[in-house]
Amino acid sequence: MYGDNTLGFPILSVVTLLPAVGALLIALIPKPATNAVRWTAVAVAGVDMLLMLLVLGSYTAGRPGFQLVERVEWARSLGLQYYLGVDGISILLYFLTALLSLVAVVYSFGNVEHRLKEYYAALLVLETGMLGVFVALDLVLFYVFFELTLIPMALLIAVWGHGRKMYSALKFFLYTFAGSLLMLAAIVSVYVQTSGQAGGPTLNYVDLVRQAPGWSSGFQTWMFWGFFFAFAVKMPLFPFHTWLPDAHVDAPTAGSVILAGVLLKMGGYGFLRWQIPLSPDASRQFAAVPITLSVIAILYGAYITLMQRDLKKLIAYSSVATMGFVVLGIFTFTTQGVQGALIQMVSHGLISGALFLGVGVIYERLHTREIAKLGGLATLMGPFAALFVILSLGNLGLPGLSAFVGEILVTVGAFIRNPLLAVPVYFYIVVSAAYMLWMVARVFYLGKPAGDHNLPPMNLWQETLPLAGLALLSVLIGVWATPFLQTMEPSVTGLLNYLGVPQDTGTAFTP
């Protein structure tokens, strides 16, 4: 059943599952045919991105509720459904996933030489898992996609990573898997809880948000914490963040792009899609906890980033502060704060993904990420330096770039919630400017780089176009944010009204 899917065919299923089909095709290609493997991966990711544009074109911005719905009861007696749909909270993250997956596949074309079949198969299966997370509207289906991302990402780090790759992969796996087990326990509890309701057990989003306000305070409290730890680890929110720098530093470049650009956003999305709607009373009651942890993450992340001397670690630790910023925006429970958090997630995906891609470009040529051994790259890599500097300025929230929009909205939302919350926000803005400008000066304008100064030019398709494209999207959001805000506003205000904190627009919650 397609619901309001005016296209008349399951476009979300096609977009979500096509990468997994591509991984299967790659598995069937004979091993010596390395170019066939590469081109198949590029073709699958490229076609998926084109289909994603069809999804965007078919989505009606400004309309509440889910669109392009696909819903099939495949185990009616158990209350399980294949249920997909997109709304203003998920559509931009869904698009971001397909975009960064294509960037990762294209960048890898000439930079990965061993075990190609396994590498591209892992990337494409990972893409399917990430895409599914943002459209699944059945809790079991969501959990399947959520867990599907775990193994491919761990393999990318362990097999194609650097340094202490096995240690980092295992740490990533254990942290995220532990959080997921708590979420699984919460899902089982929801199933048992709904089994006693009229109509039998259900795990689909629409039914759950209708029943959740009537659940007892004790059960809502369990829901809040069961989901909270899973999503806080995935963000990662302080103090669950220690796996992130290791995973980033030791992951291959494409893995870092995906990890920073998409995987971290699954936690923020989970807060908005599942935790808050399934525990509305508990979310209001315990909001001070994530707000406090987010403030600590902002202050700690910004401070520890100042101490970094490895270029990749600097960008990784800056993500801890940025994700704290996102959590703060979500739990202000204001339209401005939540919209700012969503914009910041998209912005961080674009900018941090591009920055990690840029670090890969530098490392491929100079074989070092130590800031002390870099310098003067602006004279050797002028066009690349210009793109990297623009992205770095975007990361610190320069007006005219996407992060500025997110920071302003979260700041307003935090001030509305409590004027004192604006203090750590101001601290973050100042310190982020300090460490990004310090990094830019030492990498591009001061000193001379170590090693050979006859650096190869940037590859147009693998490096220049992806970096330029991500920078251009950041500029687009920065100078013309209205369409993006209008797309998410009905879903955001409807969710907050459902939560019991009515917003000025008064949009009804339409699941």
Which tens digits make up the pLDDT trace of 32-85?
767 888 899 999 999 999 999 999 999 988 888 899 999 888 776 677 888 999
Residue 510, pLDDT above cutoff 50: no
Q: How far is the C-alpha of 62 from the C-alpha of 65, rounded, in Å?
A: 10
Helix, strand and coil content of the chain, in percent to the nearest 5, comes to: 75, 5, 20
Domain-located, residue 199:
no
- Segment 185-213 mean pLDDT: 84
Share of the chain above pLDDT 90, in %: 33
SS3 assignment, position 88: coil
Domain-located, residue 243:
no
Domain-located, residue 377:
yes
pLDDT (tens digit, 9 = 90+) per residue, 427-455?
Answer: 888 888 888 888 888 888 877 765 556 77
pLDDT (tens digit, 9 = 90+) per residue, 207-223?
Answer: 888 888 888 888 999 98
At residue 506, the pLDDT reads: 39
Range of the structural domain that residue 372 is part of: 287-502
- Segment 117-124 mean pLDDT: 92
pLDDT (tens digit, 9 = 90+) per residue, 1-12?
Answer: 444 555 567 999
Number of domains within the chain: 1
Domain-located, residue 251:
no
* Whether 17 contacts 70, CB under 8 Å: no
pTM for the full predicted model: 0.91
Residue 508, pLDDT above cutoff 60: no
* Whether 246 contacts 164, CB under 8 Å: yes
Domain-located, residue 464:
yes
Whether the bond into 245 is cis, omega within 30 of 0: no
Q: Give Cα separations from 161 to 51, 112, 234, 265, 421 (angstroms).
A: 31, 11, 20, 22, 39
At residue 346, the pLDDT reads: 93
DSSP state of 73: E
- Segment 83-103 mean pLDDT: 93
Domain-located, residue 385:
yes
At residue 192, the pLDDT reads: 87
Q: Give Cα separations from 171 to 227, 247, 273, 442 (angstroms).
A: 20, 8, 27, 32
* Whether 305 contacts 314, CB under 8 Å: yes
pLDDT (tens digit, 9 = 90+) per residue, 123-133?
Answer: 999 999 999 99
Maximum C-alpha span of the chain: 72
SS3 assignment, position 459: coil
pLDDT (tens digit, 9 = 90+) per residue, 356-376?
Answer: 998 888 888 888 888 888 878
Residue 71's H or E segment, with its range, is: strand 67-75
> Cα 339–182–185 angle (5° rounding)?
110
**What is the secondary structure of 95-129 as a DSSP string?**
HHHHHHHHHHHHHGGGT--SSHHHHHHHHHHHHHH
Q: Which of 290, 200, 324, 269 is nearest to 495 (CA)?
A: 269
Q: Whole-number mean pLDDT of the chain? A: 86
Residue 328, pLDDT above cutoff 70: yes
> Cα 164–169–395 angle (5° rounding)?
85
> Cα 51–490–342 angle (5° rounding)?
65
Domain-located, residue 24:
no
Domain-located, residue 471:
yes
**What is the secondary structure of 286-355 as a DSSP string?**
TTHHHHHHHHHHHHHHHHHHHT--BHHHHHHHHHHHHHHHHHHHHTTTSHHHHHHHHHHHHHHHHHHHHH
Q: How far is the C-alpha of 443 from the C-alpha of 308, rounded, in Å?
A: 13
At residue 5, the pLDDT reads: 56
Q: Which amino acid is at 12?
A: L
Question: What is the number of other CB atoms lying within 10 angstroms of the CB of residue 127?
Answer: 31
Position 397 confidence tier, pLDDT thresholds 50, 70, 90: confident
Q: How far is the C-alpha of 508 from the C-alpha of 499, rounded, in Å?
A: 11
